[in-house]
Amino acid sequence: MRSEAAPQLGGLERFASAGKGRGLRARRRFAVGELLLSCPAYVAVLTVSERGSHCDGCFARKEGLSKCGRCKQAFYCNVECQKEDWPMHKLECASMCTFGQNWHPSETVRLTARILAKQKTHPERTQSEKLLAVKEFESHLDKLDNEKRELIQNDIAALHHFYSKHLDYPDNAALVVLFAQVNCNGFTIEDEELSHLGSAIFPDVALMNHSCCPNVIVTYKGTLAEVRAVREIEPGEEIFSSYIDLLYPTEDRNDRLRDSYFFSCDCRECTTKEKDKEKLEICKLNDPPSAETVKDMIKYARNVIEEFRRAKHYKYILCLTLTPLVELLEICELSLDKMGAVFEDSNVYMLHMMYQAMGVCLYVQDWEGALCYGQKIIRPYSKHYPSYSLNVASMWLKLGRLYMALKNRTAGVKALKRAIAIMEVAHGKDHPYISEIKKELEDH
């Protein structure tokens, strides 16, 4: 490979990774917790459900935000944030006024509309594309099945339906490629409790390849992505993040990778499968379940998980009424009862259903119910997830806040400090989320 084709940024460089295509590697040593890379969003969209509590421009969480005077559906910290976001918000503002309650393009459609607008107004390379340009994104077009192609065509139809005034559309073939690129390279921005805030494109961050044994973690400061080391990285070592939730066993992880990203992982964890036995722990009984019974229960669990995955963000989809949420909690409890006859509580499929049940309890403000589930989850999480996992940090944070709400300050302080210890590595010690948590400790 010709060295002149390898862009560099600080202690990092783009390179040709054997068997993986483009990749990112270290040119110097990085210590645990050290910042490798910061990347502003090329484009970002705040999820509709968070409007009013977060700024549509910078994603800051604030009270007393000012709303857009025209559509009255977008909110901003101040005039500066509103002016900066206007080139993107104007794509939606008039349309939101026209469609009213019937304005409901998906986040993927909204993100793609903004990419089209950005490419027109900023044809030159941006600050987000120092190592990788959006136009270089892999689309995996040749690997799309009919179902995925149909979904893209539905998104294209929605793009034409909801956006017209400020957009110049390329032909259908080019839009198929662009949507495929967004599907493979988009990022979900989450808050400190891993609640969904929005979607974004971070080109330089997208250069990193996947490993189930990642050496970095991606966190967000508003619409800025930050990449920090979660173990020591030596010069010449490839930088790996994780594209997926690492809780699940090898087969499940690779099913997800193949479905969403069109590859299988060959990392040490996937090769040795050394954590799978613990993750799939079976009840210790005098008469242990047969291999066939275990196999059937795993199949049942995977089907239930897929149903929940399809209903992601269920609390918005289910009309925000109490009845569907109560029914959802009953489904969780029934699934836990059924799986509990075969699986230990530390089994990842049990943990998945407990997490869903905890989410429902939190939404309906059943603090004691949520705490009960959280207490069962945290120890297995700490065992199954890698060090400095955001999933573990967010669970300690939720537990800490629940303890505080239930007047158990001693347990609350302990849990919040555990969350902070992880977050100081993953987010950096100066992150606003950490300042907020420390203030919570002071206030209690």
- Distance between CA atoms of 302 and 296, rounded to whole angstroms? 10
The CATH code that applies to domain 385-443 is 1.25.40
Q: Taking CA 353 as the corner, what is the angle to CA 347 and CA 357, rounded to the nearest 5 degrees?
A: 140
Kindly state the helix (H) or strand (E) to which residue 232 belongs, with its residue range: none
What is the helix (H) or strand (E) element at residue 38, kind and residue range?
A: strand 35-40
Architecture of domain 8-45+100-241: Beta Complex (2.170)
Q: Do residues 53 and 61 touch, judged by C-beta distance below 8 A?
A: yes
Q: What is the pLDDT of residue 320?
A: 43
Answer whether 12's CB lies under 8 Å from 216's CB: no
Strand partners, 341: none
pLDDT digits (tens, 9 = 90+) for 26-37: 999 999 999 999
Distance linking the first and last C-alpha atoms of the chain: 58
Please tell me whether residue 311 adopts helix, strand or coil conformation. Answer: coil
Backbone angles phi, psi at 387, to 5 degrees: -60, 150
Rounded Cα gap, residues 218 and 388, in angstroms? 11
Residue ranges of the chain assigned to CATH 1.25.40.10:
281-377
Q: Where in the chain is the domain with CATH 2.170.270.10?
A: 8-45+100-241
From the list 285, 277, 280, 253, the residue with the least C-alpha distance to 345 is 280
pLDDT tens for the chain, 444 residues: list them: 333 456 778 899 999 999 999 999 999 999 999 999 999 999 999 999 999 999 999 999 999 999 999 999 999 999 999 999 999 999 999 999 999 999 999 999 999 999 999 999 999 999 999 999 999 999 999 999 999 999 999 999 999 999 977 898 999 999 999 999 999 999 999 999 999 999 999 999 999 999 999 999 999 999 999 999 999 999 999 999 999 999 999 999 999 999 999 999 999 999 999 999 999 999 988 888 999 999 999 999 999 888 776 654 444 444 445 556 777 888 899 999 999 999 999 999 999 999 999 998 998 899 999 999 999 999 999 999 999 999 999 999 999 999 999 999 999 999 999 999 999 999 999 999 999 999 999 987
Buried b (16+ CB within 10 A) or exposed e, 229-258: bbeebeeeebbbbbbbebbbbbebbbebbe
The two three-digit tokens of residue 386, written as one number: 């890698």
pLDDT tens across 48-104, in order?
999 999 999 999 999 999 999 999 999 999 999 999 999 999 999 999 999 999 999
Looking at the DSSP assignment, which residues form a beta bridge with residue 37? 227
How far is Cα 198 from Cα 41, in angstroms, rounded to an integer? 12
DSSP string, 129-155: -SS--GGG----GGG--HHHHHHHHHH
Q: Please state the pTM of the whole predicted model.
A: 0.93
Sequence-ordered strand ranges (E) for 270-330: none
Q: What is the DSSP letter of 186?
A: E
Contact 257, 210 (CB under 8 A): yes
- Please state which CATH class domain 281-377 belongs to: mainly alpha
- Spatial separation of the C-alpha atoms in residues 227 and 220, rounded to whole Å: 9
- 391, 194 Cβ separation under 8 angstroms: yes
Q: What secondary structure does DSSP assign to 97-113, as a single string?
A: HHHGGG----HHHHHHH
User: What span, in angstroms and rounded, lies between the C-alpha atoms of 394 and 423?
Assistant: 9
By the 8 A CB rule, do 121 and 87 touch? yes
Tokens coding 285: 């009984």
